[in-house]
């Protein structure tokens, strides 16, 4: 089975993309009805853009995308990672298994934080508290950082052949990894403010990573030798397939999340997918592409930081009309769908740049 998979990388990539799409579509449709029946509706801040008509739209609908990723991890990743080492392998295949575990823990760990935040936000809304607010910002940042440090310390145990991380002390590497994880998680989460924006950007970023990695393993290798790939090339293939699973799942979710959205992904999915995506860039050794391919996510985070710092520094003045960045353009008179399309275009350009630089 594993030899068949490794010998047909392109076919498996297409299958995993379609697989993610179908799981997301099949699971999200009944999930919308289930969430609506239990009044798990999103509350819209009154001081935000004119989106009050969206109030009550079911949230946490992105669970189907996380399901697609988990099924992909178990159905494709584990059989390959746990198989016996090839006779010419330079090291055991346990590092591949560890890399898959790290992707799963990053996805599930940050999804759990997002789920708690979603549920607390719903409880506060029902109890008459501040609309749409779950965990406090400092509390959430502290929990995100702790999880990032734990994942970072575990990631330093991976061989450099996989991660291609710089030769730095383990503690410093863990801090840098935590910074990348927390930044990506919050960038994806902040972009989830317009119909289809976050799902489209995640699909583009994961698709760019998947296609970049898919070109690497078979370069200069005969097809009948693909089943005897070195360890790092097997890791590239696995990461490519999982990244494309995320792409397919996001495209499936867009069936319901495009304007006008019938469901929102919620913090559970935006944070979970952000964590998994960042970890995939790390374990595949393409960590340096993350801020390039995720340039829109970086812009969203930076705009939010600038807004907060400027507001505090000037005693209440705003640098942007509203943060994060997509709301700035909305407040300037641009329609929501125009903002989304232009941000997608920017994300696509960043993804294409990642493809060019990723070799």
Q: Which residues of the chain have pLDDT under 50?
A: 46-47, 86-92, 132, 219-228
- pLDDT for residue 95: 82
Bridge-partner residues for 58, per DSSP? 41
* Token code pair at residue 258: 């495009």
- pLDDT for residue 223: 45
- The pair phi, psi for residue 6, each rounded to 5°, is -70, -25
Tens-place pLDDT, residues 226-284:
444 566 778 888 899 999 999 999 999 999 999 999 999 999 999 999 999 999 999 99
- pLDDT for residue 9: 83
- pLDDT for residue 91: 43
Tens-place pLDDT, residues 206-233:
999 999 998 865 544 444 444 445 667 7
- pLDDT for residue 122: 82
- pLDDT for residue 39: 83
- pLDDT for residue 86: 47
- pLDDT for residue 85: 52
Contact yes or no for 165/97 (Cβ under 8 A): no
- pLDDT for residue 247: 98
Give the list of residues 6+ apart from residue 196 with CB closer than 8 angstroms, or none.
Answer: 254, 257, 258, 259, 261, 340
Task: Measure Cα distances from 241 to 78, 128, 284, 358 in Å.
Answer: 13, 45, 11, 16
């Amino acid at each position: 089975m594993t030899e068949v998979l490794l010998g047909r990388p392109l076919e498996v990539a297409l299958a995993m993309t379609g697989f993610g799409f179908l799981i997301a579509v099949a699971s999200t449709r009944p999930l919308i009805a289930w969430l609506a029946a239990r009044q798990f509706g999103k509350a819209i801040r009154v001081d935000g853009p004119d989106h009050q008509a969206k109030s009550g739209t079911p949230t946490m609908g992105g669970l189907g995308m996380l399901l697609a990723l988990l099924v992909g991890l178990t159905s494709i990743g584990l059989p390959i990672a746990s198989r016996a080492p090839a006779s010419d392998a330079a090291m055991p295949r346990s590092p591949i298994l560890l890399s898959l575990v790290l992707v799963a823990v990053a996805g599930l760990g940050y999804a759990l934080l997002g789920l708690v935040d979603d549920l607390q936000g719903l409880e506060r809304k029902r109890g008459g508290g501040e609309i749409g607010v779950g965990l406090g910002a400092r509390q959430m940042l502290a929990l995100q950082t702790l999880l990032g440090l734990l994942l970072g310390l575990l990631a330093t145990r991976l061989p450099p052949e996989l991660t291609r991380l710089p030769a730095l002390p383990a503690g410093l590497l863990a801090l840098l990894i935590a910074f990348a994880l927390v930044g990506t998680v919050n960038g994806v989460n902040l972009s989830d403010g317009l119909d289809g924006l976050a799902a489209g950007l995640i699909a583009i970023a994961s698709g760019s990573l998947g296609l970049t990695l898919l070109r690497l393993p078979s370069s200069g290798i005969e097809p009948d030798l693909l089943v005897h790939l070195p360890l790092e090339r097997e890791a590239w293939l696995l990461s490519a397939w999982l990244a494309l699973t995320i792409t397919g799942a996001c495209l499936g979710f867009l069936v319901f999340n495009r304007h006008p959205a019938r469901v929102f992904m919620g913090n559970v999915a935006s944070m979970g997918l952000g964590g998994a995506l960042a970890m995939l860039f790390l374990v595949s050794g393409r960590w340096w592409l993350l801020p390039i391919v995720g340039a829109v996510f970086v812009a969203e985070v930076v705009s939010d930081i600038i807004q907060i710092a400027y507001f505090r520094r000037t005693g209440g003045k705003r640098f942007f009309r509203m943060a994060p960045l997509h709301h700035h353009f909305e407040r300037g008179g641009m329609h929501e769908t125009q903002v989304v399309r232009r941000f997608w275009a920017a994300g696509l350009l960043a993804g294409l740049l990642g493809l060019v630089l990723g070799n």
